[in-house]
Amino acid sequence: MDRIIVERIVCYGYHGVLLEEQTLGQEFQVSLEIGVDLSGHSEDHIDSVPDYRKAVSIVEEVMYGPSCRLLETLACRIADKLLIMPGIIETTVEVRKPNPPIPGVQGGVSVVVSRGK
């Protein structure tokens, strides 16, 4: 399986369980691994492959859309929308909260989901 990787799409959103997260918002980071089949690829044209700019737009649509309480919900929504794009066979989506409001957590919290057709 061939892969397109897009790392750390940064969005500011109002997602989370705590009222403060929903009111004040915080930074989120989203990374994508998109499975494609490029074995027959011979054209140097954007229409011959999945356009990762569209994938970034999908991430922004979800992250700037209706508020979710859970990272898991955000990751699943992004993955489901990516699989609708032509040429995408499977995807792995990581949604990361780099500064969660949890005492003692210094390295952030991530949820990773993988989906395929």
Q: Which residues are catalytic?
A: 97
Which structure tokens are listed for 49? 């492959």
Element (H, E) at 62: helix 52-63
CB 96 within 8 A of CB 30: yes
Helices (H) and strands (E) in the chain, counts: 3, 4
End-to-end, the C-alpha distance of the chain in Å comes to 13
Q: What is the rounded CA–CA span in Å between residue 81 and residue 58?
A: 7
**Where on the phi/psi map is residue 104: left (φ > 0), alpha (ψ -120 to 50), or beta?**
left
